[in-house]
Structure 1
Amino acid sequence: MAVAELELDAADGTGARIRTSPGGPPLGPRDGEEQRIFALVRLRGRPVGTVVGRVGAGDDPASVLAEQAADEIGVPDALERPPAGEVPRATVVVATRERPAQLARALDSLLAQDHPDFETVVVDNAPVTGATRDLVTSAYAGRGVRYVREPVPGLAVAHNRGLLAAEAGIVAFTDDDVIADPHWLSALTRPFGEDPALACATGLILPARLSTPAQILLESHGGFAKGFAARRYDPAHPPADEPLFPFTAGRFGSGANMAFRAGALKAVGGFDPATGTGTAAKGGDDLYAFVRLLAEGHPLHYTPDAIVWHHHRERWEDLCGQAYGYGAGLTACLTALLVRRPALLPSLLARLPRGLAHALTMTAPRAIDAAGGGVPGAHGAYTYPWPRHLSRLERRGLLYGPLGYARARFAVRAARPGETR
């Protein structure tokens, strides 16, 4: 399945226009066969939704998908433009481990940002070779990219190292397997300039490629996207449609596209170092930070205008590990919250029955349609396909999470005494 961007109303007056996604394969049917295309739909640059269409040989992809977008999305005639105010200075932190080729692709996209004042910090996490250091200090020397080494393994530990190294008051985090839209950093940091109370912002994550069954299935399962409407989550005014708020952390965003006010994140101790990829907890570092800040009374803002294109794992075995990690990371996050802020226990217990029901719904197996395996883009609907094997793995992960967190705490304490306090 090809991945593309469909602009419905180009600024130059040419109307609908389509192009392949950053890092994706070229568009066009092969051998006269029709091509399935997953397209981000934009209106004068603003994202409004996604469509999946079939384009035959000789068809104009832009026209076919534009007509489908009008039917399925109900594209508005106009969109409110984002404010043209200044964006605050920022530091972008990219944690990485032994993936210099992917890192170079991500850094190139960061250097193309339209943000007027930012730096990039690469955190080399528990390196076994000098490949990352050599890349950053040679190819990116003098280009606003700094190299930092963190010997203790774990994504949260690496992110905390980047937080300490950051020189700006706003710190954005992304992964080494993404390509950032040129407007990503400006869109992600602008809300901090508009709202002095804001502590966290997250953005839209879309697939860069859908070339394997595992990638298509993950995106059909909801992927990482959180919708196309901006939303502000304020603890002073809990959302009526989120009865588990603030413990449904996965609704707020993901670690590949998030930013924080540095002072607020440092005030709660940063990320829990016993969470995240690279630890026994398997994940949950981003979820922990979101809920911890909300629990302290800080608002969180989601904006679909801040877009990164994520390279999903290609192999089935990687998807299996990811499903297990989803479950483990969620309960590891909740365990970390109770360990570090026990006052949250009554609130969590009050939501426990609904939370268990939500977890069962979220991880339930769902049949794959006979036409060929799911339609990406139905984010948050819980109607997507999810094979029974992956459902079992996710639920096993839910049971394992607290144990994984305990193991990770012991490991971090042994590597760096005092770090888990």
Structure 2
Amino acid sequence: MGVADLDLDLDLDLDLDPGPGTNPDRAPDRAPDLGPGGKPHVLSLTPAPGGPPLRAGALFALVRLRGRPVATLLTTVPDGADPVGVLVTAFRAQYGQHGQHHAETGELSGAPPRTTVVVATRERADRLGRALDSLLAQDHPDFHVVVVDNAPVTTATRELVDEVYAGRVTYVHEPVPGLAVAHNRGVAATDSPVVAFTDDDVVADPRWLSALTAPFAADPRTGCVTGLILPARLTTPAQVLLESHGGFAKGFAPRLYDPAAPPADEPLFPFTAGSFGSGANMAFRTSALRAVGGFDPATGTGTPARGGDDLYAFVRILAAGHRLRYTPDALVWHHHRETWQDLRNQAYGYGAGLTAYLTAVLCRHPSLLPALLAKLPRGLAHARAITTHRPGETGAGVPGMHGTHGHPWPRSLSRLERRGMLYGPLGYARARWGIR
């Protein structure tokens, strides 16, 4: 499946119609002068970073309005059809004849503060280079990149940084395995007021870091910011299945989570940390993260807990009184795991990480136990809901829209998630014991 980035520079009542008249001096994937009266509104369609060339078949596209991500479209391009025209038609069907869409407001902006970007990695130098190239191309005015090599067995990562990125990227060795341990090592290596985290299997949008860190300058109560994660490519059934059920994306509306004004639509707040964001796209005010003790080293990939390090940090930041913001303007493209076994491991790990992080919160901060117990009945119902067998269905609007469950979620994966939930507290206990 092709993955594309569709950029619509629209005024109100702009009637999208690619039609004839593409300027031959421009790249063939651009159709200029789409607006009435010859106004030069440009529709562009380009493959996502690292994705396959666009061709006939299924096509997943990110739609931006005036540079801001607002929607995704999943459609089929017939043989011989123009992908731009097909996507414009799908966009019209979802958002109206004139392509009008009023993006959510409420985003805060400000001069992005000095930031350190931490990338934890282990024996994936081939993927790491792609991520580092995108990070070094950021438009942020003042940042530095730190690579934390977590329990390496070869020198491949060190050699990559030394030979290709010398002077531009700092290499740090962390011998103790575990994603949380590696992230804490990265925090210790920075003197920046903001520290951002992403993974070695992403490609960051050029504006990612600026969008992710600007809210810290605009709002002193902000302790954490998360962003949008979309697939870099959808070429295997496992990748398509994961993305059709939401993937890592948390929507296109900016969101503020404030412990002083808990959201009415989240009765389990703040314990539904999975709705706040994901570890591949997050940033913290460094002082706030250090004040809550950083990440719990007994959580995360690479430990018996299997995950939950990011969720633990989100809850700790909120419990300490800081605000958490989700901003879809901060975009990274994630290379999803490709095989069915990868997806099985991921489903089990998600379940384990969920209950492992809850166990970590209660072990380290028992004062939160009364609040959790009060919400436990709803929490159990929520756990059952998110792991239930989800039948295939057609969503409203454009059939096959991202997150509308166009593909059935197998019962076997639901069972694996539940088994992971049962294992999570044991996995966390094993990890704690190993640290001791």
Contact 1:332 1:402 in 2 (8 A): yes
Query: Quick check: 2:4–2:45 contact (8 Å CA) kept in 1?
Result: yes
The aligned residue for residue 57 of structure 1 is 79
Amino acid at match of 1:44: R
Matched, 1:4 2:4: yes
SS of the aligned residue for 2:417 comes to helix
The residue number in structure 1 matching 2:37 is none
Residue 81 of structure 1 and its aligned partner are, at CA, apart by 9.8
Q: Which of 415, 418, 428 does residue 395 from structure 1 map onto?
A: 418
The equivalent of 1:409 in structure 2 is 432
Please say if residues 75 and 400 of structure 2, whose CA atoms lie closer than 8 Å, have aligned partners that are also in contact.
Answer: no
Shift of 1:383: 8.2
Deviation of 1:72 (Å): 1.6
Corresponding residue of 2:66: 44
Contact 1:216 1:376 in 2 (8 A): no
1:110 maps to which of 135, 138, 156: 135
* Identical positions, percent: 68
- Give deviations 1:322-355, integer Å, cap 9, x for gaps: 0000000000000000001000000000000001
The alignment partner of 2:375 has SS state of helix
Distance, in Å, in 2 between the alignment partners of 1:287 and 1:354 is: 19
The residue that corresponds to 2:46 in the other structure is 19
Question: Hey, what does 2:125 align to over in structure 1?
Answer: 100
CA apart distance, 1:410: 1.1
Residue 322 (1) aligns with residue 349 (2): no
Contact persistence 1:368–1:387 (CA under 8 A): no
What whole-Å deviation, never above 9, does each CA across 1:170-208 have from its counterpart, x for those lacking one?
A: 000000000000000000000001001100000000000
The runs of at least 4 consecutive aligned structure 1 residues that moved more than 4 Å come to 77-84, 381-384
Backbone CA RMSD of aligned residues: 1.9
Distance in 1, matches of 2:406 and 2:319, equals 30
Give the drift of 1:85.
Answer: 3.4
Q: CA deviation at 1:375?
A: 4.1
Which string of whole-angstrom CA distances, capped at 9 and with x for unpartnered residues, describes residues 237-286 of structure 1?
A: 00000000000000000000000000000001000000000000000000
Map of 1:214 onto structure 2:
238
Distance 1:386 1:59 in 2: 31
- State the shift of 1:167 in Å: 2.2
Query: How do 1:137-156 residues align onto structure 2 when only pairs under 5 Å count?
Result: 137-143=162-168, 145-156=169-180
CA deviation map 1:94-123 (0-9, x unaligned) = 000000010000000001100010000000
Task: Check if 1:231 corresponds to 2:258.
Answer: no
Q: Deviations over 1:40-68 (max 9, x none)?
A: 01112110110111111222211211221
What is the DSSP-based 3-state SS (H/G/I as helix, E as strand, rest coil) of the residue aligned with 1:305?
strand
**2:49 alignment partner, SS class:** coil
Residue correspondences, number: 402
Q: Could you state the TM-score of these two structures normalised by the residue count of structure 1?
A: 0.92
Match of 2:206 among 152, 165, 182: 182
SS of aligned partner of 1:199: strand
Normalising by structure 2, report the TM-score: 0.89
Once the two structures are TM-superposed, the CA of residue 73 in structure 1 deviates from its matched residue by 4.0
Superposed counterparts of 1:54-133, under 5 Å: 54-73=76-95, 76=100, 79=103, 85-133=110-158
Structure 2: unaligned runs, 5 residues or longer? 12-31, 33-39
Maintained 8 Å contact 2:268/2:379: yes
For the pair shown, the structure with the greater C-alpha radius of gyration is 2
